A = this chain, B = another copy of it.
């Protein structure tokens, strides 16, 4: 299934084709692809080149590890994310390595790194569905995440699957067209609310 963006202005194919499915196919992600996804995250920009991102990763091939990571997602996300081939947690280091002071950009830059990861995934025919609905405290306990770092996102990776495999409500979300606010609603010039 492909859910191409109906863009107002032209964008790259991997931007238009990127999509976060709820349904994943029963197909493994290769180790090569997986490493390239994190390599793409690696080269994202960050404030002071701090690279405040880390990832904890589990593949479905290692059942008990996969179950452990799945248990860090909120129940509503476990329902569909259990079918992904790979699960990961996106962890932000909230203070600067060099001086321990708060890094205001940490969470933003975790998002930037995710951007690299998901466009790389799209280029490889893979899909990524991120979640904010995780249990950071459980993740800290299970994985010994150090103080000053925090699990922020859950990341499901795999090939898009048939929506028929989903509960009805999620199925409808996968089948619905992708919608976005028009540019005039969020790109301003001169004063807040005036379209560019």
Contact = CB atoms under 8 A, between A and B. Distances in A.
Interface in A158-196: 178-181, 183, 186-193, 196
Nearest to A92: B108
A73 interface: no
B9 A12 contact: no
Interface in A19-50: 20, 32, 34-36, 38-40, 42-45, 47, 49
A143 B55 CA distance: 37
Contacts of A5: 43
B38 A180 contact: no
Question: What size tier do the contact residues of chain A reach?
Answer: 35 or more
Given A57-B189, A132-B104, A39 B8 contact: yes
Nearest to A152: B108
A92 to B, nearest CB: 8
A159 to B, nearest CB: 17
B115 A39 contact: no
B43 A16 contact: yes
B116 A107 contact: no
A12 B12 CA distance: 13
24 contacts: A7-B39, A8-B42, A9-B32, A9-B35, A9-B39, A12-B40, A12-B123, A14-B119, A45-B118, A49-B180, A51-B186, A54-B186, A54-B188, A56-B188, A57-B196, A108-B114, A108-B132, A108-B152, A109-B111, A111-B111, A111-B115, A114-B115, A115-B115, A144-B191
Interface of A: 5, 7-12, 14-16, 18, 20, 32, 34-36, 38-40, 42-45, 47, 49, 51, 53-58, 65, 104-105, 107-112, 114-116, 118-120, 123, 129-132, 143-146, 152-153, 178-181, 183, 186-193, 196
